[in-house]
Structure 1
């Protein structure tokens, strides 16, 4: 069975469109149609129903899809394993990172990596940490540099790279900016802007309020830290931001009994053979963390999801 035909089948199944699959694979639409027709002929069954412009998998197509994914993943893993027999660091690294980490943490690492390994192609997707986690879990990408989930479990492996302290912040002219002795229950009386409800950061902050039985007054939510900072800076609400983002646009609130911190790190799938380039990238991440004075990193850790 031709793996190119299986790749075309998976692209059409994922996009629901022959034209979009062709764009994704850098082929013409007739070439995609020819590959699907060839596969249907080989298997002696129809894989897609075509009703007008709508395309859907047939029962046979639904049965083939997980098996096709398994075949392609197995071939890719074999290719990486054989390539790793050589010590040469080359090829392609598919990775994801959050917008915040991509803007504030990764640039020096990426700069050094591309200079050190010019034969490696970086395929980077900017995604929410939770989406990136799922992509690693399902084998869509090799690794992700994200906000680590409070709990991670096999088959995901995680390595802490950076500690990321979080501070409560308001606009300098916000009423709370003048309060010298502040508590979480007093803070909860004012409108807040939080990361989205499914984010790891939201979970960390919400658990701190749940610990004392208080519900914060969340008036808005967004997954982009830069947007949260903007809304705080114009006085719309208070929020929690990474300490690395703080400047004169916002004012830190002192809550002596409260300490919030998230862990930023890299994750990968234990059942997937990391490429030499993937190993090299993780080593560079760890080296970068040690160079900026963080405590020694824990060994590769298997945590809960």
Structure 2
């Protein structure tokens, strides 16, 4: 059963499957999160762990041993346990199991907390290494927002980076990173969204995108996104699909021709025994 949290201004629904948000709804009934129509893409806001993106031949290696691992890891398809809930927040946890150790041989705890304040929802993921050895992983947030936004008076939607930068673009080839920088599609931090931008799959900005942006319709509804400890940004949709995924990551897919070692992937996190790492995304909606 899904958990619903909120206040008079905003309500959020979270599923125990993947600790994934299912809806963001404002008091006027407007829906801000993609509803997961499988005609285009059945996801809504998955948590990516213990890796982001694809691995060569869907196989990773750890300490020289190979393990099967499908795209974006297994957390999004795992049942989390609801361990705490209040009117405005809920915390789900995923612990290592015998089944998870078959593909990821570590004793880990992944805790995901959703909290509503005003017209914003904050999602915090905490990864704890409960093992006696170092633990490499990648983690990412994959929220899909409706495009166009409810109440928009024009088809024009754009992404504006807080830092006004023009980060270099990296593309994917069969889901793997092509390690070649391309010209940035941003101009003074602004990108006008067009569906043909995604004909070659996701747009990845491994560095330079900063820690915040605004997605929305000029002079109309918008979503302000901020994040912590997530150096990579991806934008993805399917051409013609009515959603846009805005994805802060810590870690990317493996590189074309690169290693399948999880610890060697670009921007991989390596956590020491007993340590905890924290990753945060906050989305504030503005009608």
Q: TM-score range by the shorter chain?
A: under 0.3
TM-score, length of structure 1 as denominator length: 0.24
The structure that has the greater radius of gyration is 1
More helix by share: 1
* TM-score, structure 2 normalization: 0.25
Q: Which has the higher strand share?
A: 2
